Amino acid sequence: MPVETARTVSLPPLAELDGYFEAKLGVPGTGILAVVQRGDEPAVWRGWGDRQIHPGQHWRDPDALTVPFWIASISKHFTAYATLQLAEKGLIDLDAPACTYLPRLARVSEAVTVRHLLDSRSGLQHDEHFVLLCGSTPEAGLTFRRRLDFIYDKSHLDVPPGSQTFYQATDFTLLGEVVEAVTGMSLDDYAREAVFAPAGMGDSFYGLHYGEAYPRMAGTYRMSHYGALHQYHNNMEVLGDGSVVSTAADMIAWHQHIRRDALAGRWFEQFGAFREDKDGHGLMYGCGTNRLTVGGTPAYGKGGHSYAHTSGFVRVPEHDLFVLLFSNQPFLGGLGLANDVAAWACEGIGAGRGVAGAALPEGFAGLWVNEETGYLVEIASEERDRPTGRTRTHSLRFGAATASLHAAGEDRMTSWGLYEYEVRRTPEGLAIAFGDNPAMAFSRCRPAAVTAGEFAALEGRYLCPVLDGLVRIRLDDGRAVLQWGPGHAVAQVLPLHQTARDCYMATWTPLDRGTFNDAQSPRYAGAQTYYVKVLRDADGAVAGLSISNCHARDYRYEKLPAFGEAARAQE
């Protein structure tokens, strides 16, 4: 539980952050709301920018704290609490196989436990990732129940349960199903009765009442893969991983509640249950929260990112400090900004100061490729302006996964965060190990455009028998692209770039002819990055493709026979 803190030291005024946040308001009609609270003192808050794409409703208006907001992945925090609550009552055994409560999951694995789901160590695939391989999207009628069917009927384990942390939606989608199976109630009804109501959160719910709240919500926005910004209306279902709508006032009430709640004290405040798993592996994530440090002090928090809303909270139990950040700007990292504000607040009360990390070892920065799979990683270093000063950060990005790296010597780096990478220098380049998997060799990437001869061999339609998913390789504005689904039912046109022999990468990002990837572009969407490996027959002809993304690996697509112009015109 939080330690007693002196009440004689007041929080610094949020107005000190005006320049910091005003510099981040890059999209007209969007804004940022920040809340800081210490102990029992009244929360202080300040807004920057607008709540709607048409200016007029400012985030500094008196009613800002009661504006409904889609908190996205912060929902996992509440789904975890509901699960733990039922475990405390003896209704859920955290170490029992999850298929005890969800019998259909036995087809995928009988080894995945409820605790694996809570720690995101199940080894299951990210449902939103692998269903895209079928040519399905929310816009194409991908309902929650159909997502569940994909999980139960078509997914498989990427890695053994408990061996790696994979932050993804599937685990908490299934936890929501476990809550419903055990209680006989909908996840929304149970949470409103047993989680939100006791905390005084009268305006919080899981998805079901979204339509009623929509007129009062902050404007939501989405950027197309061509870079156009437009208002986005989501048809949200009840999902354990990301469908909670709440308000800043309710989130303040929640963090007042968990300061005094014994269950939250054991699982969130102390966070001791997630320092190691049973095999001694360090855990940076568990029960819907990230393990953090703020000014050198242990903390925890969670970020959320929808198609437009970004959110984040940080709690520093030692200093009884809570920070919340909401933004309806699509390009901000809610957890990172909340962590920045928490560091600023800690420095203001004399409770710590952030320190710039060690320099990136020479020769580690850049794009690296595994020649066998075509998997691409990017290692980068960045200095950021934060409220407490400039901070140096290093990162490794693979598809949708981004890991923070820190130097462990001149020839080795390790990850700090959800993803367990170890990067070592070798005479040929780098060796990168993920979790308990053997290290893979990576060399400098020299990407190239797809030549006319390569395109002629690749062009055509490919079908995955397992997923019933169809993709086509064709020309689009002079570029080779991968298009999902028949015809225009699914508008996913992903440019192909060669990363190694017979290996290609496809991404939503608009790519200039002379560049591989504009990694600094806010339009970069790593979650829609796919790796394509060509499969050849005994004569060397293209027979199919193996398509993977960050959490769905090695699905085989068979090349279909060519078809005539009449069929092509109807496609």
Measured between alpha carbons, how far is 118 from 265 in angstroms, rounded to an integer? 17
Give the model's pLDDT for residue 197.
97
pLDDT confidence band for 116 (50 / 70 / 90): very high
Measured between alpha carbons, how far is 334 from 510 in angstroms, rounded to an integer? 25
Residue 255 has pLDDT above 60, yes or no: yes
pLDDT in tens, 71-86: 989 999 999 999 999 9
Cβ neighbour number for residue 433 with a 10 Å cutoff:
15
Residue 193 amino acid letter: E
What lies within 8 Å, CB to CB, of 532 at 6+ separation is 374, 482, 496, 503, 504, 505, 506, 545, 546, 547
Average pLDDT over residues 41-63: 87
Residue 246 has pLDDT above 50, yes or no: yes
pLDDT confidence band for 408 (50 / 70 / 90): confident
Give the model's pLDDT for residue 128.
62
Give the model's pLDDT for residue 535.
95
Measured between alpha carbons, how far is 33 from 45 in angstroms, rounded to an integer? 7
Give the model's pLDDT for residue 220.
73
Average pLDDT over residues 112-134: 80
Share of the chain above pLDDT 90, in %: 37
Q: Which region holds residue 468: left if phi is over 0, alpha if psi is between -120 and 50, else beta?
A: left
pLDDT in tens, 330-368: 668 899 899 999 999 998 887 765 555 678 888 999 889
pLDDT in tens, 160-198: 898 888 888 889 999 999 999 999 999 999 999 999 999
Average pLDDT over residues 38-45: 92
Lowest mean pLDDT: which of 44-48, 132-136, 302-306, 484-488? 484-488
Scan for tokens 């692998």, then name that residue.
Answer: 130
Cβ-contact 161, 122 below 8 angstroms: yes
pLDDT confidence band for 124 (50 / 70 / 90): confident
Scan for tokens 């923070």, then name that residue.
Answer: 404
Measured between alpha carbons, how far is 343 from 275 in angstroms, rounded to an integer? 22
Average pLDDT over residues 555-568: 72
Give the model's pLDDT for residue 514.
32
Single pTM value for the model: 0.84
Give the model's pLDDT for residue 129.
59
pLDDT confidence band for 7 (50 / 70 / 90): very low
pLDDT in tens, 18-35: 999 998 887 777 899 999
Give the model's pLDDT for residue 400.
63
Give the model's pLDDT for residue 6.
43
Average pLDDT over residues 535-560: 87
Identify the top-confidence range among 136-140, 213-217, 282-286, 419-423. 419-423
Domains of the chain plus CATH, in order, are: 1-93+175-352 (3.40.710.10), 366-444 (2.40.128.50), 452-570 (2.40.128.50)
Single out the residue of 561, 560, 531 nearest to residue 546, CA to CA: 531
How many degrees, rounded to 5, is the angle at CA 445 between CA 441 and CA 450?
125
Length of the chain in terms of residues written: 571
Share of the chain above pLDDT 70, in %: 80
Q: Rounded mean pLDDT of the chain?
A: 81
Residue 517 has pLDDT above 60, yes or no: no
Handedness of CA 118, 321, 199, 217 (dihedral sign): negative
Residue 274 has pLDDT above 60, yes or no: no
Measured between alpha carbons, how far is 64 from 74 in angstroms, rounded to an integer? 19
Give the model's pLDDT for residue 432.
94
Give the model's pLDDT for residue 143.
65
Scan for tokens 């990292």, then name that residue.
Answer: 333
Give the model's pLDDT for residue 99.
97
Give the model's pLDDT for residue 307.
66
Residue 136 has pLDDT above 60, yes or no: no
